Amino acid sequence: MTHLVLPVIDVAPLAGAVADPAIPVPAAALAVAGRIQEACREHGFFYVTGHGVPAMLVAELAEASAEFFALPAVDKLEISMERGGRAWRGYFPVGGELTSGQPDLKEGLYFGAELADDDPRVRAGLPLHGRNLFPRQVPRLRDAVLPYLDAMTALGQSVLAGIALSLSLDARYFADGYTADPTVLFRVFSYPPAPPGFHGWGVGEHTDYGLLTLLAQDDCGGLQVASPDGWIDAPPIPGTFVCNIGDMLDRLTGGWYRSTPHRVRNVSGRTRLSLPFFLDPGFADEVPPLPGRAAGGGRHRWDGQDLRAFTGTYGDYLLGKVAKVFPQLQRDVL
């Protein structure tokens, strides 16, 4: 397809921007925010470097994940999502998840913030909150996932500081607001090689639901992003994360920033591993447009949905989405 069009942004100058409210925002951070604004307006996608997440941590997580997916099906199914109950965690086999009603050619693991049984949100029976399911056969996976969640949450907060600045908001706008108690979701996907003549998708066309997605991908390629000129590739760049904005940032900005459709087809001939991390608003947060940004206009979305018409909390929105991708599980556990 095409050469690289998505920008690569070094976010290192943002790290300090959420650290201390007493320190004025450095000019370098404002410059990064300017680049983020351009990327969010133009593509809704960009690459992140200077992120400070140790390469060893990503590599260890990728290796541990590959070790898990190589287990016999019966072992993987020991932690199947049916056993995760309302916390909505665990393993699903190939074809177990639907995008736009079609089964995806991928298997995967759902993780989230690790909450103990006595956490008030878990006791209140809040869906998608609770303990993770980790495989007993690959203990190193747990040891990699938990620090990864912490590292990626910190990175996500930094990038959100840049997004806040890019919208002329205080750097701590998200960290003190929507992501003070964020919804953190993390998935590990393994995409089998597409068989010859396969016309389906590893993951079908969709937008992400929340604020921010940070994706680590291996060297197989296959991620495609919608653009006004058609689909463009988001090829692997070692040491980076692909960052894209979700429906809640689209909603907040009245469509000024757009959650951009994307999809995956793994034609590498190898098994593709990807690690999407999602940093989203608190479950109970309503996410109305920012002042002065409500008038996005009647833009037509890929799926005909009007993001502004939705009323309710982010939790309501998320549950409506996950119910569609796992209809059976939704009937059984929610």
Quick one: DSSP state of residue 211? S
Q: Which helix (H) or strand (E) holds 25?
A: none
Q: Taking CB under 6 A as the rule, does residue 204 contact ligand OGA?
A: no
> Which of ligand OGA, Ni ion, none has residue 182 at its interface (CB below 5 to 8 Å by kind)?
none
32 versus 318: smaller Cβ distance to ligand OGA: 318
Q: Helix, strand, or coil here: 86? A: helix
Contact 203, 104 (CB under 8 A): yes
Among 25, 39, 40, 223, binds ligand OGA (CB under 6 A): 223
Among 79, 175, 264, 329, binds ligand OGA (CB under 6 A): 264
Helix-helix angle 139-166:55-69, to 10 degrees: 130
CA 172 – CA 263 distance, rounded (Å): 32
**Which residue's CB atom is positioned nearest to ligand OGA?**
274
Q: Taking CB under 5 A as the rule, does residue 208 contact Ni ion?
A: yes
Q: Taking CB under 5 A as the rule, does residue 250 contact Ni ion?
A: no
Q: Taking CB under 6 A as the rule, does residue 43 contact ligand OGA?
A: no
CA 313 – CA 126 distance, rounded (Å): 13
CA 269 – CA 50 distance, rounded (Å): 31
Q: Taking CB under 6 A as the rule, does residue 265 contact ligand OGA?
A: no
Cα atoms in the Cβ-side hemisphere of radius 13 Å centred on 53: 30
Residue where the block lists tokens 């108690």: 181
Tokens read off for 214: 């940070």
Among 107, 208, 247, 280, binds ligand OGA (CB under 6 A): 208
134 versus 189: smaller Cβ distance to Ni ion: 189
Q: Taking CB under 6 A as the rule, does residue 189 contact ligand OGA?
A: yes
> Which of ligand OGA, Ni ion, none has residue 253 at its interface (CB below 5 to 8 Å by kind)?
none
Interface residues with Ni ion (CB under 5 A)?
A: 208
Interface residues with ligand OGA (CB under 6 A)?
A: 187, 189, 203, 208, 215, 217, 223, 262, 264, 274, 276
